[in-house]
Amino acid sequence: MLIRTEAPADILTIDGLVRETFETEAEAKLVMSLRENSHLTLSLVACSDEGEVIGHCLFSPVTLDGEDFNWQGLAPLCVKNEYQKQGIAQALVEEGLETLAELGYPVSVVLGDPAYYQRFGFESAKTYNMNCKWEVPEEAFMIKACSPEFLEGKAGLIEYCPEFDLL
């Protein structure tokens, strides 16, 4: 398996993968909209040994109380159905977080299953008096910083790009 940044030739394949993986077209529309509006910070694909795109992970900017600190939101994450439960999603997330840190993006947030995302070091954003605007279980909205100092003195509302409001 190879993990790499998306290339222009991957766009339609990613679209098909996201449509196939999720129950509705909302996530596929989100990915295209983020790309079209230049709100895509990092888009990774996982490829099989034959070169088939079998997984996708996307990061886009988030703000804290309207201020941009170069923080990123992870969403969506998907793996082709027949390749699930093989560590591909985990490899995508780990590569994404490592790449973001290297590029100077110090904090990532995610809305998802705490049992899954805690393995990457995500913890409840509520611990830091941070939340998102959607009504979700507080433990499902999580945050991870490269280093604790990036969260010191910070609290408030974390907002994703406006494209997420269309979900």
pLDDT tens digits for range 54-85? 999 999 999 999 999 999 999 999 999 999 99
What are the tens digits of pLDDT across the range 36-55?
Answer: 999 999 999 999 999 999 99
What are the two backbone dihedrals, phi and then psi, of residue 69, each rounded to the nearest 5 degrees? -110, 15
Q: How far apart are CA 158 and CA 79, in angstroms?
A: 27
For 68, counting Cβ atoms within 10 Å of its Cβ (0-12 exposed, 13-18 middle, 19+ buried), the class is exposed
Torsion (CA) 22, 24, 29, 32 in degrees, nearest 10? 20
> Is residue 7 helix, strand or coil?
coil
One DSSP character per residue, 125-165 reads GGGGTEEESS---GGGEEEEESSGGGTTT--EEEEE-GGGG
pTM assigned to the model: 0.94
Assess whether pLDDT exceeds 90 at residue 164.
yes
Pick from 54, 46, 51, 52: nearest CA to 5: 46
